[in-house]
């Protein structure tokens, strides 16, 4: 091979901000999604799936803060020279779906959806360009009872996943109260870029602290990597007013819009208390504003409260694992008519990581398949028949399909996490038998010091049975190791 051919080889590497998912992680995620789905179904939500790709104008520019179409989202043009984008959340596609099908949908329309989303943003620790969300939304209900119900749903979901009360909290704020503050300090809501910059700065309070937010409200901030984020350029007095609001223990309402927001939170509080959702589960917090531009009323997020350590034992902050709020203007973008809506979104990977680190959620161990070893290459059909017999008995099984000998096949079975292997060489075939080797029990033999016990366990770890008893013998082995 020439040097030119060698240099043309692609490098095996992942794009920044993306990750591969192992079998164990997939199974753990699947189990968690089933729990979440069960809670969402119990609340009466119905499943829906929308495409990963939408027209860029249908998604709307709620993440981007510059004019180019692919700022914040991954975008490309199709053959008709129209911009398409990978969805950055599951809410904007829902608004498009409701606008297209509104006349045929039950009102209110209640749906849940799980799926990957993509953000064209700078990746960092715990911040990825692709991640999975699990959403629930109610479209067509203007009552804050719909918002309160979603906060209850978030709390019930976390408890169903094993998080005890006192180790999580659902925090609730209201954009209208913040809008009242903005009006009182002269921040023009028509100045979209500045308005959004202030929202995003406040949304980072729990991660950056007061001084970090103060810098973003002012000239800007340089992070640990040296990257500079442009600030909102507010003057010092205005910054003090905003900081005073978000760090207050109260929910001060200013102006008519602020009073309206406070009344909504008072009604939500009444509903929480009626359903016995106390401050140990839900509390009001003025710093909760959410960074997306489309929220119009109550906003909420849930976080885990217990200290969480990374693999090196260092304390880390997970941040919100559930978030959402009211977005009464999204469907209106398509129809011209106001359609009230509210929803929550669970950050699946972030929540799973947090639960695993806390020990609140442990996925059940998954055994590998029973492996039928192939010792005589001219008897592949016999081994395949044994494998099929196990599968037909609802036993997970595979026939070894490689080219290696018995020793390497045993190592393969170990790597697969197989509970046992099936062995039939020429001698066993002549006797009409198969050997069953219990790999889990066999791995414990070296720790047994008593000779009689060792010989007993050795006989249990590998034994011969008539070929007709294969399925039953494997079942006995599997039953030894069921949790």
Which residues face 115 on adjacent strands? 133
61 phi and psi, to 5 degrees?
-95, 70
pLDDT value at 2 more than 70: no
* 8 A C-beta contact, residue 246 and residue 209: no
- Distance of alpha carbon 109 from alpha carbon 141, whole angstroms: 8
Instruction: Classify domain 23-358 at the CATH topology level.
Output: BirA Bifunctional Protein; domain 2 (3.30.930)
For residues 17-34, average pLDDT: 90
Mean pLDDT of 464-475: 96
The CATH class of the 370-480 domain is alpha beta
Percent of the chain with pLDDT over 90: 58
Judged by average pLDDT, the poorest of 54-63, 102-111, 133-142, 243-252 is 243-252
Of 31-40, 147-156, 361-370, the range with the lowest mean pLDDT is: 361-370
Question: In this structure, what token pair is assigned to residue 312?
Answer: 């090196």
Same topology, domains 23-358 and 370-480? Answer is no
Q: Whole-angstrom Cα distance, residue 115 to residue 49?
A: 8
**Phi and psi dihedrals of 104, rounded to 5?**
-100, 0
The residue extents of the domains of the chain are 23-358, 370-480
d(CA 91, CA 444): 52
The sign one gets for the Cα dihedral 284, 288, 293, 294 is negative
Mean pLDDT is highest, among 83-92, 214-223, 284-293, for 83-92
The residue behind tokens 């066999």 is 442
Average per-residue pLDDT for the chain: 88
Q: Which of 57-66, 212-221, 293-302, 396-405 has the lowest mean pLDDT?
A: 57-66
**pLDDT for the residue 68:** 43
Confidence of residue 428 (pLDDT cuts 50, 70, 90): very high
Nearest to 88 by CA among 69, 112, 109: 69
Task: Let me know: does 361 contact 308? Beta carbons within 8 Å.
Answer: no
How far, in Å, are 35, 46, 90 from residue 42 at the CA level? 11, 10, 21
Phi-psi domain of 157 (left: phi exceeds 0; alpha: psi -120 through 50; beta: other): alpha
- Identify the band that residue 433 occupies on the pLDDT scale cut at 50, 70 and 90: very high
pLDDT per residue as tens digits for the range 64-78: 344 445 568 899 999
Host H or E run for residue 133: strand 130-139
Residue-level pLDDT at 7: 66
Q: What is the structure's pLDDT at 309?
A: 76
* Beta-sheet pairing, 320-326 with 341-347: antiparallel
Q: What is the pLDDT of residues 279-327, one digit of tens each?
A: 999 999 887 888 777 889 999 999 998 888 777 777 777 778 999 999 9
pLDDT the model gives residue 107: 92
Greater pLDDT, 329 or 121 = 329
Arithmetic mean of pLDDT, 22-36: 92
**With contact defined as beta carbons under 8 Å apart, do 424 and 431 qualify?**
no
250-276: pLDDT as tens digits? 766 788 888 999 999 999 999 999 999
User: The tokens 């959004």 sit on which residue?
Assistant: 196
Q: Is the pLDDT of residue 203 over 90?
A: no
Confidence of residue 190 (pLDDT cuts 50, 70, 90): low
Query: Which has more pLDDT, 345 or 120?
Result: 345
Higher-scoring residue by pLDDT: 185, 321: 321
345-360, pLDDT tens digit by residue?
999 988 998 888 887 6
The pLDDT of 166-180, averaged and rounded, is 90
Report how far apart, in Å, the C-alpha atoms of 345 and of each of 91, 109, 136, 301 are.
9, 17, 7, 9
With bands split at pLDDT 50, 70 and 90, how would you rate the model's confidence at 192? low
- The CA-atom distances, in angstroms, between 387 and each of 24, 292, 381, 428 are 24, 53, 10, 16
For 15-30, b/e burial (b = at least 16 CB within 10 A) is eebeeeeeeebeebbe
| Spatial CA neighbour of 252 closest among 319, 182, 317, 195 | 182
442-468: average pLDDT: 89
| This prediction's pTM | 0.82
Write out the H or E segment, with its range, that includes residue 179: helix 175-184
The pLDDT value recorded for residue 125 is: 63
Q: Bigger pLDDT: 5 or 180?
A: 180
Are 474 and 419 in contact by the 8 Å Cβ rule? The answer is: no
Q: What is the per-residue DSSP string for 339-379?
A: --EEEEEEEHHHHHHHHHHHTS--PPP----EEE----GGG
Higher per-residue pLDDT: 189 or 107: 107
């Amino acid at each position: 091979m020439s040097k030119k051919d060698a240099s043309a080889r692609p490098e095996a590497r992942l794009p920044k901000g993306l990750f591969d998912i192992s079998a164990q992680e997939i199974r753990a995620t699947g189990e968690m999604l089933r729990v979440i789905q069960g809670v969402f179904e119990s609340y009466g939500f119905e499943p829906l799936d929308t495409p990963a790709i939408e027209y860029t104008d249908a998604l709307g520019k709620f993440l981007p803060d510059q004019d180019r179409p692919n700022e914040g989202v991954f975008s490309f043009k199709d053959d008709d020279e129209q911009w398409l984008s990978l969805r950055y959340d599951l809410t904007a596609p829902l608004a498009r779906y409701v606008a297209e099908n509104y006349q045929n949908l039950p009102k209110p329309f209640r749906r849940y959806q799980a799926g990957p989303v993509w953000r064209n943003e700078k990746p960092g620790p715990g911040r990825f360009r692709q991640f999975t969300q699990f959403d629930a939304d109610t479209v067509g209900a203007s009552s804050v009872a719909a918002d309160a119900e979603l906060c209850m749903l978030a709390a019930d979901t976390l408890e169903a996943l094993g998080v005890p009360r006192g180790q999580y909290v659902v925090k609730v704020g209201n954009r209208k109260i913040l809008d009242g503050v903005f009006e009182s300090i002269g921040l023009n809501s028509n100045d979209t870029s500045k308005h959004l910059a202030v929202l995003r700065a406040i949304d980072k309070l729990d991660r950056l602290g007061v001084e970090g937010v103060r810098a973003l409200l002012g000239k800007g901030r340089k992070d640990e990597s040296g990257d500079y984020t442009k600030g909102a350029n507010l003057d010092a007095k205005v910054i003090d007013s905003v900081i005073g609001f978000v760090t207050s223990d109260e929910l001060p309402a200013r102006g008519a819009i602020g009073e309206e927001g406070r009344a909504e939170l008072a009604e939500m509080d009444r509903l929480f208390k009626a359903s016995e959702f106390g401050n140990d589960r839900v509390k009001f917090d003025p710093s909760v504003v959410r960074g997306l531009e489309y929220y119009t009323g109550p906003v909420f997020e849930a976080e885990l409260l217990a200290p969480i350590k990374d693999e090196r034992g260092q304390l880390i902050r997970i941040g919100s694992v559930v978030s959402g709020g009211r977005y009464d203007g999204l469907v209106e973008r398509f129809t011209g008519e106001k359609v009230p809506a509210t929803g929550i979104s669970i950050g699946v990977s972030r929540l799973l990581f947090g639960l695993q680190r806390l020990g609140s959620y442990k996925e059940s161990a998954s055994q590998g398949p029973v492996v039928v070893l192939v010792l005589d290459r001219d008897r592949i059909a016999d081994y395949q028949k044994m494998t099929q017999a196990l599968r037909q008995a609802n036993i997970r099984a595979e026939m070894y399909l490689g080219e290696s000998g018995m020793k390497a096949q045993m190592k393969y079975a170990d790597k697969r996490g197989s509970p046992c292997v099936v062995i039939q060489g020429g001698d066993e075939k002549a006797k009409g038998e198969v050997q069953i080797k219990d790999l889990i029990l066999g791995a414990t033999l070296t720790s047994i010091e008593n000779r009689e016990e060792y010989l007993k366990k050795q006989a249990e770890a590998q034994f011969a049975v008539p070929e007709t008893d294969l399925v039953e013998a494997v079942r006995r082995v599997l039953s030894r190791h069921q949790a």
